[in-house]
């Protein structure tokens, strides 16, 4: 039994509240246990400066921040993302671009913002899962002839703690995990990204298979929740 009394293959309780903010076209407050992330999606009729001005193709970009009160001790407020935030927001952007046809979006930019209100493990995976729902609402508000979103995307963490593969790690497990892994998958069952590291030990092919199976199970549950909301 884990510290929070869950089974090894059991997710934390996850909730998704749509339209949490009035201003952006899409917004979601998503929680998993104590971790809480505010995800929003805004669309602008403009393109990044690096893209040709006459491009018929759009773009999606993401930003990720930890609010000062999301951690203890306090996370310093910064105008520019640190290395960790940069890596995570690039992951969020890649994950969502994998399920949207930017040609069908047209010459627009979708801005995804993920702000961690409270951190207790799994902030990057929860950001992806919530941001996808916000993205759907934002794109639907455009009333395009055909939706450019062709698949779903969700993410979850898995790891090996005390020699045991477990699903959806809170901070107290993540901080002592021998193996730490994040999985991002589509609704059709394809992998978008696998981030796996032997933090304290190497891991076998059999353990990798166990972690992938756990992650696929968790993502299936998240995809179902996304669909329901």
Phi and psi at 179, nearest 5°, equal -135, 135
Residue 226 has phi, psi (to 5 degrees) of -55, -45
Per-residue model confidence (pLDDT) at position 77: 84
Which residues of the chain fall below pLDDT 50? none
5 falls within a domain: no
Quote the DSSP letter at residue 187: T
Instruction: Give pLDDT tens digits for 152-175.
Output: 999 999 999 999 999 999 999 999
pTM for this one?
A: 0.95
152 domain residue, yes or no: yes
Q: Is residue 8 part of a domain?
A: no
Please tell me the total count of domains within the chain.
Answer: 1
- 1: in domain: no
Within-domain flag for 113: yes
Residue 201 has a pLDDT of 87
Give a yes or no: residue 4 inside a domain: no
The CATH number covering residue 108 comes to: 3.30.230.70
DSSP states along 24-84: SSEEEEEEETTEEEEEEEEEES---TTS-TT-S--EEEEEEEE-GGGSSSPPPP-SS--HH
In a domain, 9, yes or no: no
Domain carrying residue 45: 14-228
Q: Is residue 99 a part of any domain in this protein?
A: yes
């Amino acid at each position: 039994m884990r510290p929070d009394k869950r089974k090894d293959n059991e997710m934390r309780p996850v909730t998704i509240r749509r339209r949490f903010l009035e201003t952006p076209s899409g917004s979601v407050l998503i929680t998993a246990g104590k971790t809480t992330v505010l995800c929003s999606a805004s669309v602008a009729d403009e393109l990044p400066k690096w893209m040709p001005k006459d491009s018929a193709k759009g773009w999606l970009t993401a930003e990720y921040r930890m609010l000062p009160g999301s951690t203890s001790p306090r996370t310093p407020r910064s105008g520019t993302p640190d290395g960790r935030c940069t890596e995570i927001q690039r992951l969020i952007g890649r994950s969502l671009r994998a399920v949207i046809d930017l040609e069908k979006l047209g010459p627009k930019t979708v801005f995804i913002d993920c702000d961690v209100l409270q951190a207790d493990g799994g902030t990057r995976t929860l950001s992806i899962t919530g941001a996808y729902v916000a993205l759907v609402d934002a794109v639907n508000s455009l009333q395009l002839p055909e939706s450019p979103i062709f698949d779903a995307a969700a993410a979850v963490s898995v790891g090996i703690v005390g020699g045991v593969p477990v699903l959806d790690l809170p901070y107290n497990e993540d901080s002592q995990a021998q193996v730490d892994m994040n999985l991002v998958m589509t609704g059709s069952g394809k992998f978008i990204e696998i981030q796996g590291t032997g933090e304290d030990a190497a891991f076998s092919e059999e353990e990798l298979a166990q972690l992938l199976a756990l992650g696929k199970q968790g993502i299936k549950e998240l995809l179902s929740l996304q669909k329901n909301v």
